[in-house]
Amino acid sequence: MLQGLFLILVSSALVNNFVLSRFLGICPFLGVSQKVETAVSMGWATTLVMTVSAVVTWTLERYFLLPLGLEFLRYVVYILVIASMVQTVETVLAKTSPALHRSLGIFLPLITTNCAVLGLALLVSLKGYNIVEAAVFAVGAGLGFTLALSLLAGIRERLEWADIPAAFKGAPIVLITAGLLSMAFLGFTGLVAQ
Protein backbone atom coordinates (compact mmCIF):
# COMPACT_ATOMS: atom_id res chain seq x y z
CA MET A 1 0.00 0.00 0.00
CA LEU A 2 2.65 2.46 1.14
CA GLN A 3 4.93 1.30 -1.63
CA GLY A 4 2.16 1.85 -4.18
CA LEU A 5 1.64 5.41 -2.95
CA PHE A 6 5.35 6.13 -3.12
CA LEU A 7 5.45 4.83 -6.67
CA ILE A 8 2.56 7.10 -7.62
CA LEU A 9 4.40 10.05 -6.07
CA VAL A 10 7.66 9.33 -7.92
CA SER A 11 5.82 8.58 -11.12
CA SER A 12 3.85 11.83 -11.17
CA ALA A 13 6.76 13.97 -9.96
CA LEU A 14 9.60 12.62 -12.09
CA VAL A 15 8.80 9.94 -14.65
CA ASN A 16 5.61 11.48 -15.94
CA ASN A 17 6.49 15.01 -14.94
CA PHE A 18 3.50 17.15 -15.87
CA VAL A 19 5.52 19.86 -17.55
CA LEU A 20 8.47 18.00 -19.02
CA SER A 21 6.86 14.71 -20.02
CA ARG A 22 3.18 15.47 -20.42
CA PHE A 23 3.76 19.05 -21.65
CA LEU A 24 1.01 20.47 -19.48
CA GLY A 25 1.23 23.91 -17.90
CA ILE A 26 3.75 25.34 -20.34
CA CYS A 27 2.36 28.86 -19.96
CA PRO A 28 3.47 29.45 -16.34
CA PHE A 29 6.53 27.28 -17.03
CA LEU A 30 7.76 29.96 -19.43
CA GLY A 31 6.02 32.94 -17.84
CA VAL A 32 7.02 32.68 -14.18
CA SER A 33 10.50 31.21 -14.53
CA GLN A 34 12.58 34.39 -14.48
CA LYS A 35 13.46 34.24 -10.79
CA VAL A 36 13.90 31.13 -8.67
CA GLU A 37 12.13 32.72 -5.73
CA THR A 38 8.99 33.55 -7.68
CA ALA A 39 9.09 30.22 -9.50
CA VAL A 40 9.14 28.29 -6.23
CA SER A 41 6.26 30.34 -4.82
CA MET A 42 4.28 29.79 -8.00
CA GLY A 43 5.04 26.08 -7.69
CA TRP A 44 3.72 25.95 -4.12
CA ALA A 45 0.58 27.88 -5.03
CA THR A 46 -0.08 25.51 -7.93
CA THR A 47 0.64 22.45 -5.76
CA LEU A 48 -1.86 23.68 -3.20
CA VAL A 49 -4.52 24.32 -5.83
CA MET A 50 -3.79 20.95 -7.48
CA THR A 51 -4.05 18.96 -4.26
CA VAL A 52 -7.22 20.55 -2.98
CA SER A 53 -8.91 20.53 -6.36
CA ALA A 54 -7.93 16.89 -6.97
CA VAL A 55 -9.51 15.86 -3.66
CA VAL A 56 -12.63 17.97 -4.19
CA THR A 57 -13.11 16.86 -7.78
CA TRP A 58 -12.56 13.23 -6.78
CA THR A 59 -15.29 13.57 -4.14
CA LEU A 60 -17.68 15.27 -6.54
CA GLU A 61 -16.97 12.69 -9.23
CA ARG A 62 -17.49 9.75 -6.89
CA TYR A 63 -20.55 10.93 -4.98
CA PHE A 64 -22.35 13.15 -7.47
CA LEU A 65 -21.29 12.80 -11.08
CA LEU A 66 -21.08 9.00 -11.30
CA PRO A 67 -24.20 8.04 -9.28
CA LEU A 68 -26.28 10.67 -11.09
CA GLY A 69 -24.93 9.73 -14.49
CA LEU A 70 -23.67 13.26 -15.11
CA GLU A 71 -20.15 12.45 -16.35
CA PHE A 72 -20.68 14.87 -19.23
CA LEU A 73 -20.58 17.73 -16.70
CA ARG A 74 -17.05 16.75 -15.66
CA TYR A 75 -15.21 19.60 -17.39
CA VAL A 76 -17.62 22.29 -16.22
CA VAL A 77 -17.60 21.06 -12.62
CA TYR A 78 -13.81 20.70 -12.57
CA ILE A 79 -13.26 24.19 -13.95
CA LEU A 80 -15.71 25.60 -11.41
CA VAL A 81 -13.84 23.91 -8.56
CA ILE A 82 -10.44 25.03 -9.86
CA ALA A 83 -11.54 28.61 -10.47
CA SER A 84 -13.01 28.90 -6.97
CA MET A 85 -9.87 27.41 -5.47
CA VAL A 86 -7.62 29.81 -7.33
CA GLN A 87 -9.74 32.78 -6.32
CA THR A 88 -9.53 31.66 -2.70
CA VAL A 89 -5.76 31.26 -2.86
CA GLU A 90 -5.45 34.67 -4.49
CA THR A 91 -7.53 36.41 -1.84
CA VAL A 92 -5.59 34.76 0.97
CA LEU A 93 -2.25 35.51 -0.68
CA ALA A 94 -3.11 39.18 -1.29
CA LYS A 95 -3.67 39.55 2.43
CA THR A 96 -0.84 37.43 3.80
CA SER A 97 1.92 38.16 1.30
CA PRO A 98 1.33 41.26 -0.86
CA ALA A 99 4.86 41.18 -2.30
CA LEU A 100 4.47 37.62 -3.53
CA HIS A 101 0.98 38.48 -4.81
CA ARG A 102 2.45 41.29 -6.89
CA SER A 103 5.38 39.29 -8.23
CA LEU A 104 3.12 36.45 -9.36
CA GLY A 105 0.89 39.05 -10.97
CA ILE A 106 -1.41 37.83 -13.70
CA PHE A 107 -0.06 34.29 -13.48
CA LEU A 108 -1.83 33.69 -10.20
CA PRO A 109 -5.38 34.00 -11.59
CA LEU A 110 -4.08 32.19 -14.65
CA ILE A 111 -3.61 29.00 -12.58
CA THR A 112 -7.32 28.68 -13.36
CA THR A 113 -6.51 28.12 -16.99
CA ASN A 114 -3.38 26.13 -16.23
CA CYS A 115 -4.04 22.92 -18.12
CA ALA A 116 -1.86 20.99 -15.65
CA VAL A 117 -4.52 21.46 -12.96
CA LEU A 118 -7.45 20.40 -15.16
CA GLY A 119 -5.31 17.65 -16.71
CA LEU A 120 -4.56 16.33 -13.24
CA ALA A 121 -8.25 16.18 -12.26
CA LEU A 122 -9.09 14.40 -15.51
CA LEU A 123 -6.19 11.95 -15.16
CA VAL A 124 -7.31 11.09 -11.63
CA SER A 125 -10.76 10.08 -12.85
CA LEU A 126 -9.23 8.28 -15.84
CA LYS A 127 -6.87 6.19 -13.69
CA GLY A 128 -9.56 5.21 -11.18
CA TYR A 129 -7.52 6.17 -8.09
CA ASN A 130 -9.01 6.17 -4.60
CA ILE A 131 -9.00 9.41 -2.63
CA VAL A 132 -5.62 8.88 -0.93
CA GLU A 133 -3.98 7.90 -4.19
CA ALA A 134 -5.56 10.94 -5.87
CA ALA A 135 -4.15 13.24 -3.19
CA VAL A 136 -0.68 11.68 -3.44
CA PHE A 137 -0.83 11.86 -7.22
CA ALA A 138 -1.73 15.56 -6.98
CA VAL A 139 1.06 16.31 -4.49
CA GLY A 140 3.52 14.50 -6.77
CA ALA A 141 2.30 16.42 -9.78
CA GLY A 142 2.63 19.69 -7.87
CA LEU A 143 6.13 18.82 -6.68
CA GLY A 144 7.11 17.90 -10.23
CA PHE A 145 5.69 21.20 -11.48
CA THR A 146 7.61 23.12 -8.80
CA LEU A 147 10.77 21.19 -9.63
CA ALA A 148 10.51 21.87 -13.35
CA LEU A 149 9.73 25.54 -12.75
CA SER A 150 12.59 26.13 -10.32
CA LEU A 151 15.06 24.17 -12.50
CA LEU A 152 14.25 26.33 -15.50
CA ALA A 153 14.31 29.48 -13.38
CA GLY A 154 17.75 28.57 -12.03
CA ILE A 155 19.07 28.02 -15.54
CA ARG A 156 17.49 31.23 -16.79
CA GLU A 157 19.10 33.22 -13.99
CA ARG A 158 22.49 31.96 -15.14
CA LEU A 159 21.61 32.50 -18.81
CA GLU A 160 21.19 36.21 -18.04
CA TRP A 161 24.98 36.45 -17.88
CA ALA A 162 25.71 34.14 -20.79
CA ASP A 163 26.87 35.45 -24.14
CA ILE A 164 23.93 34.34 -26.27
CA PRO A 165 23.78 35.09 -30.02
CA ALA A 166 21.34 37.96 -30.60
CA ALA A 167 18.91 35.78 -32.55
CA PHE A 168 18.52 33.40 -29.61
CA LYS A 169 18.09 36.00 -26.88
CA GLY A 170 14.88 35.87 -24.86
CA ALA A 171 12.21 33.32 -25.71
CA PRO A 172 14.15 31.13 -28.20
CA ILE A 173 16.94 30.17 -25.78
CA VAL A 174 14.35 29.51 -23.06
CA LEU A 175 12.46 27.14 -25.37
CA ILE A 176 15.69 25.35 -26.29
CA THR A 177 16.57 25.05 -22.61
CA ALA A 178 13.11 23.69 -21.85
CA GLY A 179 13.52 21.11 -24.62
CA LEU A 180 16.89 19.98 -23.22
CA LEU A 181 15.39 19.75 -19.73
CA SER A 182 12.59 17.64 -21.09
CA MET A 183 15.09 15.33 -22.78
CA ALA A 184 17.02 15.06 -19.52
CA PHE A 185 13.83 13.95 -17.80
CA LEU A 186 13.54 11.13 -20.32
CA GLY A 187 16.28 9.54 -18.20
CA PHE A 188 13.66 8.75 -15.54
CA THR A 189 11.71 6.56 -17.95
CA GLY A 190 11.70 2.99 -16.70
CA LEU A 191 12.18 4.01 -13.07
CA VAL A 192 8.55 3.18 -12.44
CA ALA A 193 6.24 1.11 -14.63
CA GLN A 194 3.51 3.38 -15.99
Partner 1 sequence: MGVVQKIIYAALLMGGLGITFGLILALVERRFRVETDPRVDQVEEVLPGLNCGACGQAGCRGAAEAIVAGAEVGLCPVGGAKVAAIIGELLGRAAQSGPVKKAVIRCRPDLKNPPIYQGIETCLGYQTLIGAAQGCAYGCIGLGDCVAVCPVGAISRDEEGRMQVNEELCTGCGLCVKACPRSVIALREEGEDLQLFCLNPGKGKEVLAVCNSGCIACGLCVKACPHGAIKLEGNLPVINYDLCQNCGACVRKCPKSCLEIKEYVAEKVS
Per-residue interface string for the shown chain with partner 1, residues 58-77, x marking contact by CB under 8 A? --x---xx--xxx--x--xx
Q: Give the interface segment with partner 1, choosing from 16-24, 92-100, 116-124, 138-146 (CB under 8 A).
A: 92-100
Interface with partner 1 includes 100 (CB under 8 A)?
A: no
User: Residue 158 interacts with partner 1 (CB under 8 A)?
Assistant: no
Report DSSP state, residue 119. H
Task: Provide, rounded to whole angstroms, the least separation between the CB of residue 106 and partner 1.
Answer: 12
Q: Does 88 sit near partner 1 (CB under 8 A)?
A: yes
Q: Is 103 in the site for partner 1 (CB under 8 A)?
A: no
Residue 39 near residue 152 (C-beta atoms within 8 A): yes
Q: Is 162 in the site for partner 1 (CB under 8 A)?
A: no
Alpha helices in 107-130 (DSSP H): 115-127
CB of 80 to partner 1, least distance (A): 6
Determine whether 108 is exposed, middle or buried from the number of CB atoms within 10 Å of its CB (0-12, 13-18, 19+).
buried
Helix H segments across 11-35? 26-31
DSSP 81-98: HHHHHHHHHHHHHHHH-H
Whether 82 contacts 123, CB under 8 Å: no
Which positions touch partner 1 (CB under 8 A)?
A: 60, 64-65, 68-70, 73, 76-77, 80-81, 84, 87-88, 91-92, 94-96, 98
